[in-house]
């Protein structure tokens, strides 16, 4: 069938892509869908094949064959006349010709506007469906192809309104032919009526059209001969000859060619539309004689008495008022085409709406506006097919009228809501029109257009329908540009409407489009706008983009009874965490206004971002912003409480996550976790000062190391002198220490009293955790004199012995921090400690004994600085300069190691007098003032000693001395010999 069409070499085949699937038939014509290659628009190609006629005359003789060939030529000429008549007749109800007829070797073809079917094919399919068991019994045998290439079976519907609308359009075409063109159709049948994609009925089949008899109107159409037309040739198919079943008796019985004959045919067509099967009540089987016999009897002629021979009831208005004036024997009694349009059959609101819509361009602006306002209420009464194929296309054509734009769009979206197959209609018709109006045309004007803005508001109110009927790519390409241009609009109402509609279309867009195309535009408008309303709406938009809801949480009082179901956020966030933290938060932070509405909207943004952001970001960035906003001067109590609730909630989250992190780290590292009792202010709490007793290390070793002294108990032979002998025995074990600390450290509040070791003070009493520099003199009791073996006056000594004494290595006192370290020049009046081992942790605050326990036979404390009562220091060792000094007391060498320091350890003189035994404090006092009595226990004796007594540290107020063990004495003597050979500088150099 289509192979012959392919063989055609014509302009139509080269410029159009013709489908291979048959769409419909109309008499001798086969209809195919086609697309113009240059524009892509859809059209219909009508094809007539010669071989469909030649097959009927194959058995004829020579003479018969030549006569048959002449008949075929007549048929071809008649069909050419049909196409050429379409070219000359231009009317909305007459089929529009696009490409003129082409005569090729295979046959004829021409191009018209896109049609879906002919009325004859539609009625035939309805008959097939009814015979197969109802409307759903059998699907259409015709397949149509969508513009995107999708093929589907044609949906055919015919209802009361569809019939009324079609008949009205046919009558308008007849009116045009009769009154304007001066022609008679002469063959008005279902095959002559075509239905286009808009569901409009178009008149075609003008092969037998002719001017009426006695016509005076000029026309280029050649008149027909009724005798030739009615001489039917049985050798030819019936569809190329006149159809007697729809022919008026004026032609056959009266041989009169008048315009009223078309009205008789129109009446028969009306009956066929309601009949079952859908056929004419006159069935002549193509025989003139049979036709005459039917009209010979009144019972076989359609009339009101026999219900016009219809097997189904006809509409009352049609049967009572219209058909009696159409299907009548006398032409003068028939109504004209104009009278038919004004009949009561079309007197209903739906038909009137269709008629008004057809005449819409000729109406005034006020009438158009009133019609559009009322159409929105009438639309639910229309059949779905009429709305989709007739009303919707008509409305879209009127979108070019800017004043009616918003009213038309309201009706358009109402139709989309009512249509069951709205996605196809929206994709094919509505969305391209929206893009053209709001994107293409808007770029050309670039001016503020109130009518266009009103239309945009309608679009934003129906973005949910647009998103439902569009795919992601379609929405991004056609609808998203509309939204972006609206957000950048100078009209605040348009911006608000666009931002308000975010929840409706965000699910359609992908992440990349939202982040890279939509969010930057919203952020720019938010940062530049001076409108508080747009600021608030922008914050709402940020909440939606971050996965929140479009409702402000500040307005929720929790009394609606809906519970958590209402507060459920959207399924997922449209933006990632990075964009929230690095893009949105800086925008919120930059808000300068303190208006409560903006602050509360920003609170919602910070809430949803805070729930998604990292804990450290919440602590460092979000919480400071919240605190700053919460102190706004315009906030009321409830608003401030909402801020505080969020601050507390986020703070608890930060605290919980940080504690969890630290706990995990402590478990992984296996270290000792910090306790509240650790003193990180005192030096004793610093990491690294707690010594491990398991490996023999003590705080004394560290002190000797930093001061350049050799360890007394060191087992390393490198630390001893060249003539040092191995230690005879291990040193005396020190008492157990719970938390060793330096002497200048603050003790731990939880430290307990340590049992005194021999030669030490009594047990120290737990004291409050504080430190002081100045000793509390109120704690010192009265000095009690005692008689000791050192109570004799000091004897002068020769200078040489002083020089020998000063050759001993100077030592550093392990006293409190306010004593003077070992100086380069020794003081002969100060005592020297021979054992520099630091005592256990002690401070000024934990002394249990006062000055009342001070024994006058104890070692004199060192001086912090030279007082007015002290003598200048002697010259360095080896100097020949004579200096004043006192001789050691009797038995000084013998008592070298017999005296104890304030910590119960053997001590030597501070000023380098390593071989001179110090006298009692009373002897020192007596010698400094020139011979005072040693038994005096008055304050004058204390003052007579100058500030030396005040310079004594509390830790040096000692108990009566005890003799150290012999092993300890021998070890101390060895240490002193080693120290006499190695100076402090040598030790420091060896350390370096």
What pLDDT score was predicted for residue 986?
57
Contact indicator for 514, 574 with CB cutoff of 8 Å: yes
Q: Give the integer Cα–Cα distance in Å for 312 and 272.
A: 10
| Structural tokens at position 407 | 């009213």
Q: Give the integer Cα–Cα distance in Å for 840 and 478.
A: 86
Inform me whether the pLDDT recorded for 860 exceeds 80: no
555: buried, middle or exposed (CB in 10 Å: 19+, 13-18, 0-12)? exposed
> Of the spans 98-107, 182-191, 820-829, which averages the highest pLDDT?
182-191
**pLDDT, average across residues 491-512:** 90
What pLDDT score was predicted for residue 798?
46
Inform me whether the pLDDT recorded for 97 exceeds 90: yes
pLDDT band at 971 (very low <50, low <70, confident <90, very high): low
| Structural tokens at position 874 | 């002697």
**pLDDT, average across residues 292-320:** 89
R_g of the chain computed on alpha carbons = 60
Contact indicator for 220, 197 with CB cutoff of 8 Å: no
Of the candidates 165, 166, 141, the one whose C-alpha atom is nearest the C-alpha of residue 155 is 141
What pLDDT score was predicted for residue 775?
54
pLDDT band at 237 (very low <50, low <70, confident <90, very high): confident
| Structural tokens at position 342 | 């004004």
What pLDDT score was predicted for residue 31?
94
What pLDDT score was predicted for residue 979?
54
What pLDDT score was predicted for residue 629?
92
Q: Give the integer Cα–Cα distance in Å for 128 and 134.
A: 9
**pLDDT per position as a tens digit, 792-822:** 555 554 444 434 443 434 444 343 344 334 4
**pLDDT, average across residues 391-400:** 88
**pLDDT, average across residues 308-327:** 91
What pLDDT score was predicted for residue 550?
63
Inform me whether the pLDDT recorded for 6 exceeds 80: no
Q: Give the integer Cα–Cα distance in Å for 991 and 828.
A: 30
Torsion angles phi and psi, residue 906, rounded to 5: -60, 140
Q: Give the integer Cα–Cα distance in Å for 25 and 4.
A: 17
How many CA atoms are closer than 13 Å to the CA of 193, on its beta-carbon side? 26
Q: Give the integer Cα–Cα distance in Å for 479 and 432.
A: 9
Strands of 417-534 (E only): list them: none
Q: Give the integer Cα–Cα distance in Å for 421 and 932.
A: 126
For 927, other C-beta atoms within 10 Å of its C-beta total: 17
Of the candidates 740, 764, 735, the one whose C-alpha atom is nearest the C-alpha of residue 752 is 764
Q: Give the integer Cα–Cα distance in Å for 581 and 612.
A: 9
Considering only 35-44, 264-273, 566-575, which range has the smallest mean pLDDT?
566-575
Q: Give the integer Cα–Cα distance in Å for 116 and 33.
A: 9
What pLDDT score was predicted for residue 219?
81
| Structural tokens at position 358 | 């057809």
SS3 for 651? Answer: helix
pLDDT band at 846 (very low <50, low <70, confident <90, very high): very low
440: buried, middle or exposed (CB in 10 Å: 19+, 13-18, 0-12)? exposed
What pLDDT score was predicted for residue 710?
54
- Local structure of residue 184 (DSSP, 8 states): B
Inform me whether the pLDDT recorded for 886 exceeds 60: no
What pLDDT score was predicted for residue 794?
54
**pLDDT per position as a tens digit, 585-605:** 999 999 998 999 999 999 999
**pLDDT per position as a tens digit, 866-876:** 444 445 555 55
Pairing of strands 115-118, 143-145: unpaired
**pLDDT per position as a tens digit, 159-174:** 888 899 899 999 999 9
**pLDDT, average across residues 344-349:** 89
SS3 for 677? Answer: coil
pLDDT band at 414 (very low <50, low <70, confident <90, very high): very high
Phi-psi region of 70 (alpha: psi -120 to 50; beta: other; left: phi over 0): alpha
This model's pTM is above 0.85: no
Phi-psi region of 688 (alpha: psi -120 to 50; beta: other; left: phi over 0): left
**pLDDT per position as a tens digit, 69-79:** 888 888 888 88
pLDDT band at 724 (very low <50, low <70, confident <90, very high): very low
For 675, other C-beta atoms within 10 Å of its C-beta total: 7
Share of the chain above pLDDT 70, in %: 61
What pLDDT score was predicted for residue 964?
52
What pLDDT score was predicted for residue 651?
95
What pLDDT score was predicted for residue 261?
94
Place of tokens 């008499």: 27
Inform me whether the pLDDT recorded for 754 exceeds 50: no
What pLDDT score was predicted for residue 695?
54
Instruction: Please state, rounded to an integer, the average pLDDT across all residues of the chain.
Output: 73
> Of the spans 449-453, 459-463, 868-872, which averages the highest pLDDT?
459-463
Helix then strand then coil, in percent of the chain rounded to 5, is 50, 5, 45
pLDDT band at 400 (very low <50, low <70, confident <90, very high): confident
Looking at the DSSP bridge assignments, the partners of residue 99 are 111
pLDDT band at 449 (very low <50, low <70, confident <90, very high): confident
What pLDDT score was predicted for residue 281?
92
For 60, other C-beta atoms within 10 Å of its C-beta total: 14
Inform me whether the pLDDT recorded for 961 exceeds 80: no
Q: Which residue has the higher pLDDT, 9 or 805?
A: 9
Please list, in sequence order, all residues whose beta carbon lies within 8 angstroms of the beta carbon of residue 223, skipping any fewer than 6 positions away: 210, 211, 257
What pLDDT score was predicted for residue 393?
87
**pLDDT per position as a tens digit, 605-649:** 999 999 888 899 999 999 999 999 999 899 999 999 999 999 999
Q: Which residue has the higher pLDDT, 673 or 271?
A: 271
């Amino acid at each position: 069938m289509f192979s012959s069409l392919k063989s055609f070499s014509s302009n139509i085949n080269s410029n159009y892509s013709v489908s291979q699937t048959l769409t419909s038939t109309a008499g001798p014509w086969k209809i195919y869908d086609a697309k113009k290659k240059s524009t892509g628009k859809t059209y219909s190609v009508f094809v007539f094949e010669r071989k469909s006629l030649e097959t009927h005359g194959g058995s004829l003789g020579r003479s018969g064959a030549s006569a048959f060939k002449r008949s075929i030529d007549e048929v071809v000429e008649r069909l050419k006349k049909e196409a050429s008549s379409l070219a000359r007749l231009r009317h909305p109800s007459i089929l529009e010709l696009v490409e003129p007829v082409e005569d090729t070797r295979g046959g004829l073809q021409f191009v018209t506007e896109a049609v879906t079917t002919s009325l004859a094919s539609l009625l035939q399919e309805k008959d097939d469906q009814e015979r197969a068991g109802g409307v759903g019994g059998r699907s259409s045998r015709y397949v149509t192809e969508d513009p995107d290439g999708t093929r589907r079976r044609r949906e055919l519907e015919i209802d009361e309104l569809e019939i009324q609308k079609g008949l009205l359009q046919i009558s308008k075409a007849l009116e045009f032919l009769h009154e304007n063109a001066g022609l008679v159709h002469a063959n008005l049948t279902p095959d002559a009526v075509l239905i286009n994609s808009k569901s409009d009925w178009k008149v075609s089949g003008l092969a037998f059209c002719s001017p009426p008899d006695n016509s005076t109107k000029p026309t280029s159409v050649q008149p027909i001969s009724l005798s030739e037309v009615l001489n039917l040739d049985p050798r030819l198919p019936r569809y190329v000859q006149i159809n007697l079943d729809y022919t008026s008796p004026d032609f056959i019985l009266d041989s009169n060619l008048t315009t009223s004959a078309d009205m008789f045919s129109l009446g028969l067509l009306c009956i066929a539309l309601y009949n079952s099967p859908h056929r004419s009540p006159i069935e002549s089987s193509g025989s003139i004689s049979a036709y005459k016999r039917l009209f010979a009897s009144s019972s076989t002629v359609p009339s009101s008495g026999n219900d016009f021979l219809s097997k189904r009831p006809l509409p009352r208005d049609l049967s009572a008022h219209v058909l009696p004036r159409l299907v009548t024997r006398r032409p003068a009694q028939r109504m004209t085409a104009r009278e038919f349009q004004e009949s009561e059959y079309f007197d209903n609101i739906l038909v009137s709406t269709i008629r008004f819509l057809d005449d819409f361009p000729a109406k005034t602006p006020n009438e158009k506006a009133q019609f559009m306002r009322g159409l929105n209420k009438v639309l639910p009464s229309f059949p779905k097919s009429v709305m989709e194929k007739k009303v919707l296309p008509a409305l879209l054509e009127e979108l070019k009228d800017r004043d009616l734009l918003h009213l038309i769009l309201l009706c358009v979206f109402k139709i989309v809501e009512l249509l069951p197959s709205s996605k196809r209609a929206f994709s094919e018709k509505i969305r391209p029109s929206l893009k053209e109006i709001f994107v293409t045309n808007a770029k050309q004007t670039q001016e503020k257009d109130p009518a266009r803005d009103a239309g945009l508001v309608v679009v934003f109110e129906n973005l949910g329908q647009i998103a439902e009927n569009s795919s992601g790519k379609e929405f991004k390409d056609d609808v998203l540009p509309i939204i972006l241009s609206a957000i950048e609009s100078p009209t605040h109402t348009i911006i608000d409407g666009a931002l308000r509609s975010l929840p409706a279309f965000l699910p359609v867009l992908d992440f990349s489009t939202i982040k890279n195309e939509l969010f930057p535009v919203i952020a720019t408008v938010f940062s530049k706008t001076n409108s508080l309303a747009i600021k608030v709406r922008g914050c709402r938009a940020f909440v939606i983009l971050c996965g929140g809801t479009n409702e402000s949480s500040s307005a929720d009082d929790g009394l609606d009874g809906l519970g958590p179901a209402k507060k459920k956020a959207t399924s997922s966030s449209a933006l990632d965490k990075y964009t929230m933290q690095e893009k949105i938060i800086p925008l919120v932070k930059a808000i300068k206004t303190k208006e409560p509405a903006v602050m509360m909207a920003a609170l919602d943004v910070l809430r949803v971002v805070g729930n998604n952001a990292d804990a450290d970001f919440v602590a460092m960035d979000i919480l400071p912003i919240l605190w700053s906003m919460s102190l706004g001067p315009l906030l009321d109590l409830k608003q401030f409480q909402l801020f505080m609730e969020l601050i507390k909630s986020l703070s608890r989250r930060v605290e919980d996550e940080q504690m969890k992190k630290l706990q995990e780290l402590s478990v992984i590292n296996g270290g000792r976790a910090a306790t509240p009792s650790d003193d990180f202010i005192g030096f004793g709490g610093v990491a690294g000062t707690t010594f491990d007793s398991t490996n023999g290390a003590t705080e004394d070793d560290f002190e000797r190391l930093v001061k350049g002294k050799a360890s007394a108990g060191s087992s390393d032979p490198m630390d001893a002198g060249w003539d040092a002998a191995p230690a005879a025995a291990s040193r005396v074990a020190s008492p157990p220490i719970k938390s060793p600390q330096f002497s200048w450290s603050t003790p731990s509040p939880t430290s307990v009293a340590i049992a005194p070791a021999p030669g030490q003070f009594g047990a120290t009493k737990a004291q409050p955790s504080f430190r002081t520099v100045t000793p509390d003199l109120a704690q010192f009791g009265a000095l009690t004199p005692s008689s000791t073996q050192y109570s004799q006056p000091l004897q002068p000594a020769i200078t040489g012995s002083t020089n020998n004494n000063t050759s001993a290595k100077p030592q550093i006192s392990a006293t409190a921090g306010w004593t003077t370290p070992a100086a380069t020049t020794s003081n002969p009046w100060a005592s020297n400690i021979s054992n520099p081992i630091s005592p256990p942790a002690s401070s000024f605050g934990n002394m249990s004994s006062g000055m009342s326990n001070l024994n006058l036979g104890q070692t004199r404390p060192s001086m912090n600085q030279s007082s007015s009562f002290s003598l200048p220091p002697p010259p360095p060792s080896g100097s020949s300069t004579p200096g004043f000094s006192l001789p050691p007391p009797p038995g000084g060498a013998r008592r070298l190691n017999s005296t104890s320091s304030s910590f119960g350890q053997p001590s030597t003189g501070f000023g380098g007098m390593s071989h001179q035994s110090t006298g009692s404090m009373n002897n020192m006092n007596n010698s400094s003032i020139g011979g005072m009595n040693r038994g005096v226990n008055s304050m004058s004796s204390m003052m007579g000693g100058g500030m030396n007594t005040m310079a004594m540290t509390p830790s040096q107020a000692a108990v009566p001395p005890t003799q150290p063990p012999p092993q300890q004495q021998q070890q101390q003597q060895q240490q002193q010999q080693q120290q006499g050979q190695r100076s402090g500088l040598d030790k420091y150099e060896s350390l370096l």
